[in-house]
């Protein structure tokens, strides 16, 4: 056997190993894609449950609510725009975010029963945000994996 034919045989063997390795990578990435899809489905279901829990809790309007702030004293919610409220104190108006302002103890409503509502609402809101972040992260991971699979399948 000549030196050239040995090099040629070695190159062909090397190409076969790469193809085998590529197939193994495709298989492994396929398994990883299945895991990510299951996680995505689980997170989607979890998010839907959290949103349902939020709907069941209801939506209490803050407009007109009397509150107390440690620094600014007594005030009244003059404007409610989504999650933002403007509280008119004696000499100034300040903007706060609900439910965090009440749940965090920055504003104390005169109706103490509302404190528990806003604490529950804040806890649900935090869980929803965390789940949405996990879903986005999962989506990015799935995109990267799909790109890798496309490249690998082009080699196979």
Q: For the chain, list the domains and their CATH numbers.
A: 1-156 (1.10.287.370)
User: What average pLDDT does this structure show over 66-70?
Assistant: 95
* 8 A C-beta contact, residue 72 and residue 86: no
What is residue 18's predicted lDDT score, i.e. its pLDDT? 61
| Three-state DSSP class for residue 153 | helix
Over 90: is that where the pLDDT of 151 sits? no
* 8 A C-beta contact, residue 20 and residue 87: no
Per-residue pLDDT of 82-135, as tens digits, reads 889 999 999 999 999 999 999 999 999 998 889 999 999 999 999 999 999 999
Over 70: is that where the pLDDT of 148 sits? yes
Per-residue pLDDT of 131-143, as tens digits, reads 999 999 999 999 9
Residue whose pair of structure tokens reads 């076969």 in the numeric block = 16
């Amino acid at each position: 056997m000549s030196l050239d034919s040995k090099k040629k045989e070695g190159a062909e063997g090397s190409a076969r190993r790469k193809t085998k390795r590529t197939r193994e990578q495709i298989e492994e990435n396929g398994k990883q894609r299945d895991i990510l899809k299951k996680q995505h489905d689980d997170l989607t279901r979890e998010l839907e449950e959290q949103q349902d829990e939020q709907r069941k809790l209801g939506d209490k309007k803050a407009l007109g609510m009397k509150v107390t702030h440690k620094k600014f004293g007594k005030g009244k919610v003059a404007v409610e725009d989504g999650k933002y409220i403007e509280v008119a104190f004696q000499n100034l108006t300040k903007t706060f975010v609900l439910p965090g302002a009440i749940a965090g103890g920055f504003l104390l409503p005169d109706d103490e029963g509302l404190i528990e509502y806003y604490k529950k609402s804040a806890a649900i809101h935090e869980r929803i945000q965390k789940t949405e972040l996990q879903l986005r992260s999962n989506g990015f991971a799935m995109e990267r994996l799909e790109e890798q699979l496309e490249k690998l399948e082009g080699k196979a």
